[in-house]
Amino acid sequence: MMSPALLVMMAAISVPLGTMIAMSLWSLSGYDLITTPTLGNYVAMTEQPMYGALIGRSLRMATIATLAIVALCYPMAQYVAFHVKRNKALWLILLTLPFWTSYLLRVFAWRVVLGSEGVLNTGPMGMGVVDTPIAALLYRQTAVTVVLAHSWAAFAILPIHVSLEKIDRTYLEAAADLGDSPARRFWRITFPLSLPAVLATRPGGRA
């Protein structure tokens, strides 16, 4: 029954990936695109240190964004899964409502917040804390990491919440009866059982 859907998903993933791999084997001669397969691009990537630095920077920002997403979304998902008894659907809608807007709009909204005339600059300038806008807020790795974490937070809350909902509460009750503290119950039962959903929230491939 699931075979048609799985085939469509595999095609939707493999076709763009295969196209990208094929295009990585092409080369440019001036403005002409040469489609003859060659490993020249990969050779250039290994020989020039700039590419390694860019890849390392992307992986670092993706890792920091992932940790920030989990740190922000996990407590919210756990609260809704374990403590909210009524109107859970309404809670989930409210948590994901800001992400119903366009991705570009959310990115430009952060540009307004972090810009030289944004809230984080005009506030300290109005109080006399700083005399000039803080240039480190925009067009920096920190800004990219913040926007990544905010943009993909909705995609972390929902899978983590579903994973926490499926945890058998009798495991936690048994651990409590045997004397485990809430912290030990979390690290020994709750977090390991929800770890697959946490790993699925990585935005590394999108950074």
Q: In terms of domains, do 67 and 116 share one?
A: yes
pLDDT value for 135: 67
Domain around 33: 1-47
Q: In terms of domains, do 86 and 170 share one?
A: yes
* Residue in the block written with tokens 């048994």: 174
Q: In terms of domains, do 63 and 138 share one?
A: yes
Q: Reduced to 3 states, what is the DSSP secondary structure of residue 26? A: coil
pLDDT value for 192: 92
Q: In terms of domains, do 38 and 71 share one?
A: no
Return the closest-CA partner of residue 43 out of 57, 25, 62.
25
Q: In terms of domains, do 130 and 183 share one?
A: yes
Question: Does the structure show a pLDDT above 70 at 2?
Answer: yes
CB 151 within 8 A of CB 106: yes
CATH of the domain at 159: 1.10.3720.10
pLDDT tens for each residue of 138-178: 778 888 888 888 888 888 888 898 899 999 989 999 999 98
The domain total for the chain is 2
Q: In terms of domains, do 16 and 110 share one?
A: no
Q: In terms of domains, do 161 and 104 share one?
A: yes
pLDDT tens for each residue of 93-147: 888 887 788 888 888 888 878 877 777 777 777 777 767 767 667 778 888 888 8
CA dist., res. 65 & res. 100, Å (int):
20
Question: Does the structure show a pLDDT above 50 at 8?
Answer: yes
Q: In terms of domains, do 26 and 78 share one?
A: no
Last residue of a domain, one of 47, 63, 80: 47
Q: In terms of domains, do 100 and 190 share one?
A: yes
Q: In terms of domains, do 113 and 197 share one?
A: yes
Q: In terms of domains, do 36 and 108 share one?
A: no
> What is the model's pTM?
0.73
Q: In terms of domains, do 184 and 137 share one?
A: yes
Q: How many Cα atoms within 13 Å fall on the side-chain side of residue 124? A: 12
Return the closest-CA partner of residue 113 out of 104, 123, 103.
123
Last residue of a domain, one of 47, 62, 77: 47
Look up residue 27 and give its DSSP letter.
E
